[in-house]
Structure 1
Amino acid sequence: MASLFPALLLCAASVHPDTINDIARVESGFNPYAVAEIIPERERGSYGKSVISHMPKSKEEALTVIREIENRKRRYSVGLMQITSSNFSFYSTSAEKLLDSCENLSVFEKIIVDCYKRGRSLENALSCYYTGNFSNGKRKEKEFNNTSYVERIGYTGNEKNMLYQVQEATGENSEKIVHTMRQLSGPKPF
C-alpha cells in the first residue's frame, strides 16, 4: 500500500494527509499490524539495535508477538502509526484496540497535535512524536544510516506551508485555530 485509504484519513482529520502518510510510511511501512519491540539499553551491547521490527500479516499474529514481548517485560510500539505501550494508559487504549487503524490514527492525532501545540513547529512536533522531546528526533542515528527521524519522515524545512485546523475549547465557546504545517517531500496520498 503506497498510501492510506482516504476514509482512514478522517480518523485523524486535523493532521494533513501528507504528514500522516509520510509518518505511516516510516513508522510501519503502512502495515496496520506492525509491532516494534524496544530493546532496553542494557541489552543492546555496543552495536546492538534499539528496536526489533515485527511485521505480522494478521491481527492474531500481531497479538501473539505482543504477548511474547510483554512476557519479556519490554516496551513496544504497535500499529500503523506505532503508538508506544507507555502511552496506552494515558490515552485509555490497548495494544489490541490499536491494531484497528482508525483507533491508531485517532491516538496518533492526539499525540502529534499536542506535540505541535507545545513545540510550535512541525519539526519539533515530529521530534516530540518520536522521542517525547523536541530535540532527540533531530539527532542523526547510526542505526538508521546516520539520518534523524525528522529527515526520515521527509522534513527538510524548504517546502511550502500547508494548513490544518484544530478545534480548541475556550470556555463555553470553541474557536478554530489554524496552524501552519510544512508539506513534506515523499509520496503523495492522491
Structure 2
Amino acid sequence: MMPADFNSLAQQCAPGVHPTTLQAIVRGESDFNPFAIGVVGGRLVRQPQNRDEAMATVAALDAGGWNYSMGLSQVNRYNLARYGMDANAALDPCTNLRAGSAILSDCYRRASARMGAGQNALHAALSCYYSGNFKRGFVRDSGTSSYVQRVVSFVASTDPETAKGDVRPIAVVPVATPETVRQTVPRLDPGTGTSAAIGTPSTSRRAQPEHTHPSWDTFGDF
C-alpha cells in the first residue's frame, strides 16, 4: 500500500485522526502491510502477504495460545470483540483503521482532559496507544529512540501533500455522521519535545500488561 493510497483510505475510514498522524503510526506498526501480525513473546519468520496466509497463521497462533496483534494499526486479538471485529474483519484495511483510530482517539481524549489539547497530549496518546499508559512510550529501548520519538520522526517522510512537517492530533467523534464527524486530533509536530508523561488510562490497542521491552514488535525495531 502506497502512502498516497493510505491517506485516502484514512480520510474515508478514520476521519477523526489527521491522516499524517495515522500514517506515521501505521508505518511503525505494520509498514503498511494490512496482513501484518505481531506476536507477543515471539515473532513470525516472515510476514503474511495475503489474507489466506494471515488467516492460516492466526489459526495456528490461536491453537498455540499465542497473543498477537493484527493489521495496519496492529489491533490486539483481545480488543477485536470490543470493536466489533473477528480476525477476518481485522484484516480489512478500513475496518482495522477505524478500530485503531478509535483506540488512539480515546487515548487522546484522556490525555487532553489532563494536559489540555495539543502536541503534549498527542505524544502522551501515542504512548498510550503503544503501551496502555502515558509513560512507557517515552522510554528509550535498549539505547535506541523511544516509541514516541520514532513515530514523530516518521512524519518528515510521510506524503508531502499532507505531512507539511507535523503530525496532527486525533479527533473525538461523538456520532459517526457526515454532520458530526470532525477532526479533533491534531497533526503531529516533529519539532516539539517528547518528554511529557501522565497517569495510566484504561484503554490501549493491546490488552496486555506493560513489558520492559515490548516483544510484540513484528519488525524488531522497537
TM-score (norm 1): 0.77
Aligned match of 1:16 = 18
Contact between 1:127 and 1:135, CA under 8 Å: does it hold in 2?
yes
What is residue 38 of structure 2 aligned with on the other side? 36
Name the residue aligned to 2:125. 125
Q: Does 1:75 align with 2:77?
A: no
Q: CA deviation at 1:128?
A: 0.7
Task: Specify whether residues 31 and 176 from structure 1 end up closer, same or farther in structure 2 by C-alpha distance, changes over 3 A only.
Answer: closer
Give the secondary structure class of the aligned counterpart of 2:83: coil
**CA shift for structure 1 position 132:** 0.9
Q: How many pairs were matched up?
A: 166
**Residue number among 132, 151, 155 corresponding to 2:149 in the alignment:** 151
Cα pair distance change 1:161/1:131, threshold 3 Å:
closer
Q: What TM-score, normalized by structure 2, do the two folds share?
A: 0.66
* Structure 1 Cα separation of the partners of residues 169 and 128 of structure 2: 20
Q: Distance in 2 between matches of 1:175 and 1:29?
A: 27
Please state how far the C-alpha of 1:89 moved relative to its aligned partner: 2.2
Taking a change above 3 Å as real, the CA distance of residues 84 and 165 of structure 1, as seen in their structure-2 partners, is: closer
Residues 139 and 163 of structure 1: CA distance in aligned 2, closer, same or farther (over 3 Å) = closer
Which of structures 1 and 2 has the larger relative contact order (alpha carbons within 8 angstroms, sep 6+)?
2
Distance 2:61 2:19 in 1: 31
Q: Does 1:7 align with 2:13?
A: no
Distance 1:181 1:36 in 2: 26
Tell me, yes or no, if the aligned pair for 1:128 and 1:134 is still in contact at 8 Å. Answer: yes
SS at match of 1:102: helix
| Structure 1: gaps spanning 5 or more residues | 40-50, 186-190
Q: Which portions of structure 1, spanning 4 or more consecutive aligned residues, are displaced by more than 2 angstroms?
A: 159-169, 174-185
Write out per-residue CA displacement over residues 99-124 of structure 1, whole angstroms, 9 at most, x where no aligned residue: 00000000011100000000121111
Percent identity among equivalent residues? 32
**CA positional deviation for 1:152:** 1.6
Q: Of residues 100, 106, 110 in structure 1, which corresponds to 2:102? A: 110
Q: What is the CA-CA distance between 1:160 and the residue it aligns to? A: 5.6
